A and B are shown apart, each in its own frame.
Chain A
Amino acid sequence: MDHLGTSVLFAGNNFSRLLGGLWTTIWIALLALLIGLILGTFLGMMRTFKNRPVRLILRLYLEFFRIVPTVVLLFLAYYILPRQLNINLPAEQVAVLTFALWVAAEFSDIVRGALISVPKHQRESGLAIGLTHWQLFRYVLLPQALTLELPATINLATRVVKTTSLLMLISVMDVINIGQQIIEANGQSHPNGIFWVYGLIFFFYFIVDYPLSLLAKKLNAANQH
């Protein structure tokens, strides 16, 4: 088998390092999603308010995060924050912060879209029984929006997981970065290492993202009924 070069995956502690990298990828994505989804829910709610300045600011926020490439956002946060604002965060925290703000921006638009597609009468009957606006969101509109927004949210989650591959650019030890190190360190002894290492990384991303995309597909089909 060894002439194939698969041994590079198991030489030394390579495999456990790759798993460790995968874990870094996953926790950064999960934490960013958790923070981003909560923040995005509030921003999405605020985008349905009548207040124009609030809506405009949140719209600009969304467009900023949507238009500026994620790499640029990461560089902005990683290189410019410490220099201009003297905020020195570890790379992982910069990653979580940037991704969370990005997720919040994207999710605010998903939430807004779902909220405005809840029939207007649901809102009125809620008001008519004396609910406050907050109670109306909490008990009627958000739960109904949730079923509408679930497929798009899962889609967003798979994008976040994939996009963590950019984190190597700000020297986070994610699975890609570690893979790269292993390839370089073993380049002499395992010239085919690059194929196997990236093959394994492909497989890692696949087992994380594929169940998510299956779920999205299933929910989408369920929503059609």
Chain B
Amino acid sequence: MKSLGLLLMLATPSLFGQPPIAVTGVVRQALTGDPLPNILVTLNRTDAPGPEQAVTTVPNGQFEFLVPPGTYRLMAESPIFGGQIYGATSFQSGSGVALVLTPSTRLPPLDFRLTPPAAIEGTVIDGHGEPIQAAQVQLFQTLILEGRLTVIARGSANTNDLGNYRFPGLGPGEYHLVASGTPWHTWDGLAPGRGSYLVPQFYPNARSADSAAPLVLRVAEDARADFRLDEATGPGVQLSLVEAPPGIAMRLSINARGFGGRTRLQHLGTVSSSFHRVDGIPPGEYEVVVQGVVRGKPYRGLARISLAADDVTVRMPVHEMPTISGRVDCAGQSTTKMTISLYDRDQQARVPAALRPDGTFISANITPGRYSFLLAGAANCSVDRVTVGGKAVPGNRLVVGTDPIAEIVVEAKSVVSSVHGILRRGEIAQPGVKVYLAPVPPNETGPYRVYLTDSDGSFDFRRLPAGRYTLFLAPGAPELFEYANPESIAPYLKNAPTIELDADQRIRQDLAQPDPQ
């Protein structure tokens, strides 16, 4: 206990006269329950600025802090487990359960369970059974994003000299894999015989994303996904860049359809002249993208092609990428602590824009897409209306093509309405339970929200526009619960309260959790 006493002293902050509150607990491996020593545990205040507190668990896994009242986020970090937040319901992400400490809080010792990471690994071999070096394996995951089932690209890996690849640090879930590559004997360009490629293979043993099946990864599992890529010959793509800047060295990517509307990379190369040829592309539909920075300016070109048996020539105009500029107006509030970013949900791209003290912003290097604007940093500013040159932008989603757009005005207003409350079962507050909020009646646009209750059972949905809402729980909902889908939430809305929320109103609505059957 001597070493624990020393840690206690180190972790004791200056308390400014307020009675300190003890946060204690044990860090354990989630599957075995074994206590974990030597884990860095940190406590960060989230309701006010304050220094980070950090201790390392002692051999029996214990940690202890003494801190002033406030709201805190508890995290643990180690090289094996990565960073995990206390109470988080998904692996290495999510907000976790906030610790709400008031002068009267008696926090029971916390059971901090760290989920061991899982991995997917495998070997890619050729038709002779020999390892394929530098084959590309791309990983996708199906998860819930903003309340809806979404497939996201999780990364890509190249095989080593033994044909092996590995995706470590994964949580349990539904994954999709595809392997592709080019035959080694075409790399150096010494041999004629153009047009050979390795037939992309979708896990397990499928030729297309539609006929593939997900790999369901369990907690801490080391799953294997092996691939055998056969060689075939296919057509070539002849690129002819129009209006390309001189002296170009741009990145070429040829993207095919992957899983769930995401693209997968079929070919990556460098274009260094206006004419460029790529040989050996499997027949199919592709998006050809050329992008690069020439003398400090970003350029981009895009073409969609369909390849059958014959070569295709693509004439591709290359444009300087547009700059987007305008100003933010949030009812006269200062923009000094505000940040603005452009968000394209379809591409899952978030582009920051530099916001100056006078409220003007500029963002260069914008990829074509449909962007909404996100404001952060300022207490309650929420985007209300977006105009370009005085004309309203439908749905506040700005369509960006190849031309620059100036005179954007992002009108924001202060939105301070909120719904909060405490979740209890009987008399006992229920921390770490998901409370959902949906519009009444459920619609396609929302807002839909989820809140993982704090250590005192409280939930707080802030920055809500005025309107009619309902709160509900979803006991027994599937792992991938679409809480923003009117159909999938319908079974959970029986007896759910309806709340009329006016502008600038804060409504309290407590919830009772039924006893489990």
**Do A and B assemble together?**
no
